[in-house]
């Protein structure tokens, strides 16, 4: 008896998933369709490459992480901007906006910022993340940093949601 109930639950979950996928992968004529209060596939978020100022070992710099909505519509739901710092760098509070938080267990290398729905087409938001460079960091480029915009259901072009960046370490 228990096995049948589990099978029924799985079947309902698969049907719900298939319906959601059909909605998301439908031809562009259905772009802008609604699920709840969020419009689907109606905006295009892009993470813009950050270019923080160079700093010396043990110094600090400000990383300005920007996300642009290329539209055509206002964002239909909230989205997240994630900043991943390369090894040799740590984020230091305070962050702007105050919806930015250090990710749990990231050792200061990942900051997540949440933004509400309603970013108009052709507008942008920016998060300011102060970054401290390790005193032991070698002179040169610290590679492996990235910014990433994540929006569920309504970002019609996820190919431009991630942008790598480097932190340049210069002699003191």
My answer on whether 72 and 13 are in the same domain is: no
Distance CA 113, CA 135 (A): 27
Q: What's the number of domains the chain is made of? A: 2
With respect to residue 32, please indicate whether it lies within any of the assigned structural domains.
Answer: no
33 within a domain of the structure (yes/no): no
Question: Could you tell me what percent of the chain has a pLDDT over 90?
Answer: 68
Per-residue model confidence as pLDDT tens digits over 36-59: 544 456 899 999 999 999 999 999
Instruction: Give me the mean pLDDT over the 59-80 stretch.
Output: 95
Please give the mean pLDDT across all residues of the chain. Answer: 81
Are 113 and 165 within one domain?
yes
Each residue's pLDDT tens digit, 120-169: 999 999 999 999 999 999 999 999 999 999 998 788 899 999 999 999 99
Q: Are residues 21 and 66 in the same domain?
A: no
Same domain, 49 and 15: no
State the CATH number of the domain containing residue 116: 2.60.40.1510
What pLDDT does residue 75 have?
92
- The secondary structure of 19-30 as a DSSP string is HHHHHHTS-GGG
Confidence check: pLDDT of 31 > 80? no
Give me the residue label for tokens 């096995």.
3
130 and 60 in a common domain: yes
- Taking a C-beta distance cutoff of 8 angstroms, is the pair 73, 151 a contact? no
* pTM of the full structure: 0.76
Instruction: Report if residue 5 sits inside a domain.
Output: yes
Q: Of 42, 29, 8, 20, which is closest to residue 151 (Cα–Cα)?
A: 42
Range of the domain at 100: 42-169
pLDDT band at 24 (very low <50, low <70, confident <90, very high): very low
Residues 85 and 154 in one domain: yes
- Residues 167, 145: contact at Cβ < 8 Å? yes
């Amino acid at each position: 008896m228990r096995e049948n109930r589990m099978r029924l639950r799985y079947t309902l979950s698969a049907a719900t998933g298939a319906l959601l996928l059909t909605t998301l992968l439908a031809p562009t004529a259905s772009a802008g369709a609604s699920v709840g209060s969020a419009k689907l596939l109606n905006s295009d978020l892009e993470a813009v490459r950050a270019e923080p100022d160079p700093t010396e070992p043990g110094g600090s710099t400000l990383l300005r992480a920007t996300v642009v909505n290329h539209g055509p519509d206002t964002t239909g739901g909230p989205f997240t901007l994630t900043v991943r710092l390369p090894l040799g760098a740590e984020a230091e509070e305070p962050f702007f906006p105050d919806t930015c938080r250090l990710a749990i267990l990231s050792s200061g290398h990942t900051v997540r910022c949440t933004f509400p729905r309603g970013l108009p087409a052709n507008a942008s938001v920016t998060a300011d993340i102060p970054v401290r460079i390790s005193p032991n960091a070698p002179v040169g480029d610290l590679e492996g940093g990235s910014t990433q915009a994540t929006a569920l259901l309504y970002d019609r072009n996820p190919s431009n949601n991630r942008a790598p960046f480097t932190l340049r370490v210069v002699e003191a």
